[in-house]
Structure formats: C-alpha cells, structure tokens
Amino acid sequence: MESNHGENLLNTFSISTNNNEVSTSNFTLRFLRNRNKLSPQQPNFVSVIILIALFGLTQLYFSEKTDESVAKQMVLDTPVEAIGTAANDNTDDMNNKNLTSESEEPAFSHCQSPYEQIWVNSQLPSWAKKQPELRDIENDIPPNERICFVHVGKTGGSSIGCSLGFSLHCTNSSRVMGGLLPRRTTRLFHADTYDCFDDSAYFMFVVRDPVRRIQSDFLYERPLNERILKKYFPEYFQNRKSYYLDCPFRTMEDVVRYGLLMNSTAREECKMRAYTALWGTKHFACHHYFNYQFHLEGLPKDARILVIRNEHMVQDWNTIEHFIGGQKDIIPLNVTLDRMNVNRNPQAERDKHLSPASRRIVCAQLCNEIVNYKKILRLALNLDPSDVRQSMNELRLQCPEMADVEEGECELPMPDIRNKLVNNRGYRVKT
C-alpha cells in the first residue's frame, strides 16, 4: 500500500532527467560520422569500438532509469514503521535511544509522549501519532478511560489503526469510524515504539492466526533488489539481506526446505537463522522479532486486555464499543473495515504457500508463539468463552498438533526476552 511517508521519501533521492526522447542509434551514428568523417558505408575498426562503447553506456543509462523506477516502488512498499527506529538494528543495542530516569526532565512533543519520556533523545515517529485533527481529543479523555492500541505487525493492525484515526499505512480515503472506541484509543504500542501510559484503562490487541501472520510478514519484508535497497536503506535492509538474500529463502517453502529440515544442504548459519527468526530470538524480519510474546510481556503486569481478531474484525470492534459503554452493533455486520497495507501481488499467494507437511514443521517451531496467542485470547475481556473456542477451532485447522499445547509443553522453553524488552520497549529508570 502506498503511503504519504513513502512518497516523501522518494523526494529525497529523485534523480533529475531529461524528458526529451533520445534516439540512441541516431545519436551514435551521428557521433561516429562527425568523429571519423565517414560515410555510412565506410566504418572502420575504431568506429566499431566506439559504437560498442557508446551502446554500453546508453544501456547502462536506461538500466539505471529502470532501477530508479524499481527503487521508487520499493520505497513505497517499505515497512514504514521500521525506518528511523531501533527496529533497524540486528543487535540488542539501544541504537541512539537513551533511557531517562524519573528525576530527569523529559522531552515532550506538542502532545505529551510516554515514548519521549523513556527515550529522551528521540522523537515519536509521525506514523505512531493520531492524525493531526484528532490529537487534541486526548486532552478530554481521563486516564481511567484511555485505551492503548497494541498493534502486532501483520495482524490487520493497519486496517484497525486507520479506522481508529492513527496514521500508519493510511490513505486519504481511509475512514475514521464513529463511536467511543476511536476517541478513547489515544496511543499505540507497535514493535519498538511503546507510546502508551502504563495506567491506561485497557490495552487493545489486534491478533491473527500465528501461521498466517508469519506468512504475511515473510512477504512483507522480503527485499526484491539487493543493490537498490542497499543503496537507499543500508541500515534497514542489512537484516533482511542476511536472511532473505544470503540464505536461499525466497519463498516460505524455501524456509522449510533449506532452513528447517535436518537433511538440508544449506549452510548451518542459514539453518539457525530460519529457526531463530521463527522463535523471535534474532532480529531479521521486524515483525517476526516483535511478536506476540514481545507485545504481551511488554505490557504492565496488571494490564486489562481487549482483543480484535483479524478473522472477526467487525464483530469484535462492536463488542469492545459496547463493552466500554458505547452503542451496540455500531458497525453493521454487512459492513467491512477498509483493508490497508495488503499485498495484492498475485505471486504473493504462491510464495507464501505451505504444503501440509511444511505447515506442520512451521507450527512446531511457532509453539511458544501459539501459546502466547492463546494467552491473549483468554485474557480478552470482550471475548466470551464461545469466541475463544471459535478461534481455537480455527487454529486447529492450521496447527492441529499445536492447538492444544500449553506453556511448558513445547519442545523449547519460552524465550527469556527481558533484555529485548529493556533495549527495545524501554522503561523509565526509577532513581
């Protein structure tokens, strides 16, 4: 989905070109005739060499023009939220963020930002803010009514976020819905950007079947052209290069065939990258790394959780609206929310496809992620037991062997992500 952010980025590296049409062959022949005083019937060896050289230069020119076009499209497709944040890092370093203590004077934007109180030398990214005309509403919302939007990547969060009045991946045609929910949802937590008040009344997740979420993110972050992407975004795409390009992972089936199978001929480091990417313990793809566990454990211990399921968006939006005191069935069930940031490339379905055998292997490696997904569903105050059972049955269609596994029953223990949270979510240090 094209975004204003992407269009602004394009302006920073647009190449000026002559719009006049160039006839390469005529230009080359005129040059040779003037250079060597030849008639069209009298070429010599030097002329041929010059002709070949000029032909190569013109081919290079038009190749660069094609690459520029590819670059522009790739910038528009770039995961906006990972530009200019610590989500670019492949380590646990805090990048240019600096923790503040409670005794220090925090830096504030026009709207006071918890993110800027944690990371005193950083500014809240524009994509993490509500649309300008909606920001002042927060001043009228008391703390005991504020809702934090927990946007786990590739769950349909952009569609919900635009309907709530946030800016990420939205278009000029995006509709902000009416009712209490968009007014009270004032801030968000997405990847390494935690901009929520810890005493918020509720923390509202958007969730999706874990396997489909990973399949979607695999395509979303896959670079298509190493040279152009490295040229314009070296800090962002280095992580992707080590996973997608240095290893033979062009499709989801490749990840299984070359990364997860024991008899694979891929290099050992590629096999380890395939495993750790799915576990969320190494940072290659942004939304693999900032997974359900990260967002769940990044919340305050006493957080009250609401959930919108990707598979039941309107139904769950309505239950939350009614739960917080708003109108019942505010969105008619025959209405759909605007879908944002959707990959409409017909090749996408083929590249993210998993055979039944490969899906079982991926499900096994996502065991702890599935456990956290189920935790979030069970904690949801707006879902009744029948809603949770419905999602469990849907999960069982994807991962029948893993759907009933509980914490402590996976082959690997739940990852310890305390350092990951400190270095990416960030906390104010008490002094």
Judge contact between 137 and 182, C-beta under 8 A: no
CB-based contacts of 262: which residues, under 8 Å, 6+ apart? none
Name the one residue in this structure whose structure tokens are 């995006």.
Answer: 174
CB-based contacts of 374: which residues, under 8 Å, 6+ apart? 392, 395, 406
Given strand 185-190, what is the order of strands in its sheet?
A: 193-194, 185-190, 147-151, 202-207, 305-309
Q: What is the pLDDT of residue 340?
A: 61
Max Cα distance, the chain (Å): 89
CB-based contacts of 404: which residues, under 8 Å, 6+ apart? 396
- Displacement of CA 176 from its chain's centroid (Å): 21
Q: What is the pLDDT of residue 193?
A: 96
Judge contact between 203 and 299, C-beta under 8 A: yes
Judge contact between 252 and 218, C-beta under 8 A: yes
Q: For 398-426, how does the pLDDT look when each residue is reduced to its tens digit (9 = 90+)? A: 999 999 999 999 999 999 999 999 999 99
Q: How distant, in Å, are the alpha carbons of 71, 235, 246 from that of 143? A: 44, 38, 48
Q: For 170-208, how does the pLDDT look when each residue is reduced to its tens digit (9 = 90+)? A: 887 788 899 999 999 999 999 999 999 999 999 999 999
Containing 148, the helix (H) or strand (E) segment is strand 147-151
| Lowest mean pLDDT, pick from 20-24, 127-131, 362-366, 375-379 | 20-24
CB-based contacts of 186: which residues, under 8 Å, 6+ apart? 130, 137, 138, 141, 146, 147, 148
Q: For 212-241, how does the pLDDT look when each residue is reduced to its tens digit (9 = 90+)? A: 999 999 998 888 777 776 777 676 778 888
Using alpha carbons, select from 151, 149, 152 the residue that is nearest to residue 200.
Answer: 149
